Amino acid sequence: MSSCRLLLVAVFAFMVPAAFAGVYVSSPANHATVPSPIHYVASATSSCSKGVASMGIYTAPGVRAYVVQGAKLNTYLNLSPGTHNTVVEEWDYCGGATTTPITVNVTSNTQGFWDIQRWGGWNSYALLWPSYSICSGCSPNGSQISWWTSQGVSSPSMSGKAMEFHIGGSTPYSDLLWNVHLVGDGAPNLDSSRQIVPNIHNFIYDVYFFGSNLSPSQALEFDINQFTNGLSFIFGHECRIMGGNQWDVWDNQNAHWVHTGVPCYPNSNAWNHVTLTMQRTSDNHLTYQSITLNGQTATLNWSFPHGSAPGSWYGVTLNYQMDGNVRQDSYNVYLDNLTISYQ
């Protein structure tokens, strides 16, 4: 082979890896008009011989809303109505990175509540083992169970304004429930004409959570509660950590947790992304549609009967709960980008 042909082969071999390096976004299309949550699907290659280490999505400059290990990304993000200049990025094991900008136009008919971790009006309730009734005599600095929150936390944070939750104390297996009213009784929008709450049938609970050490947690709970026409719909989801590393869902009518068999292994010292989809059917059953943790989706489509609303309760509320273990070891969890979408 001539020296000229050898040179051409050598140049071509050197250029091939770089020519195929990059971020390839199959969903959403650039400049697409889409409803929230937005389905991001992407893959990446790198000229680095060690490959792609991780991928992420920026929803605004400096705001990394999602990150996952490896060269593939598949997740949903809740974004407010309007135009968002998002960026999908890959980082390789050689210290390099490549990006693909994706502009999305989120339709104005998207309905929901964004950045709930920044809202005022959060309520807290101590639940002591073994009865788990609300402890009216418990105080935040009590010995049986202790708790506190802090809003506007800049680090760790994804948005720059996370909310920190703490639980501790001495009574084993005790829990702390935090609650905020979204619409209806006690909410900023009272829905006095009663036109919103009865017509909501689909919910998406989307949140990122972070704990430097999640191992002391018996469980973390994420709920949406709907009360209308004398009926209650408690969409309860519980990630059992010390309790068995699986997801449970709440049986409204029989008032107990049901094991799903879906694994729940959140990562300590990292942001975890949870997306929960659920539906109140036309015949007033609760359907748990899907659970997504860190890009892994399990489809359930399990239905349960509704319950009865206490008194004249009316509205939609959000719950977040932290459960104590057998030693009631203290631990902290941060929530960020907490969003509820509905139709």
Other CB atoms within 10 Å distance of the CB of residue 255: 9
Q: Are residues 145 and 294 in the same domain?
A: yes
Range of the domain at 85: 3-108
Q: Would you list the DSSP string of 69-87?
A: ESSEEEEEE---SEEEEEE
Q: What is the pLDDT of residue 114?
A: 86
Q: Are residues 227 and 266 in the same domain?
A: yes
Query: What are the CA-CA distances from residue 164 to residues 14, 200, 331, 342 (Å)?
Result: 49, 30, 11, 25
Tally the domains of the chain: 2
Q: Are residues 149 and 55 in the same domain?
A: no
Q: What is the pLDDT of residue 109?
A: 66
Out of 87, 108, 129, pick the residue that ends a domain. 108
271-300 per-position pLDDT tens digit: 999 999 999 999 999 999 999 998 788 999
What's the CATH code of the domain at 235? 2.60.120.200
Q: Are residues 70 and 127 in the same domain?
A: no
Out of 48, 75, 108, pick the residue that ends a domain. 108
Q: CA angle, corner 133, sides to 116 and 264, nearest 5?
A: 55
14-69 per-position pLDDT tens digit: 333 434 579 999 988 898 888 777 889 999 999 999 999 999 999 988 888 889 99
pLDDT reading at 4 higher than 50: no
198-243 per-position pLDDT tens digit: 999 999 999 999 999 999 999 999 999 999 999 999 999 999 999 9
Out of 84, 108, 132, pick the residue that ends a domain. 108
pLDDT reading at 2 higher than 90: no
Query: What are the CA-CA distances from residue 216 to residues 136, 138, 147, 332 (Å)?
Result: 25, 22, 15, 10
Q: Are residues 177 and 36 in the same domain?
A: no
Q: What is the pLDDT of residue 257?
A: 97
Q: What is the pLDDT of residue 14?
A: 38
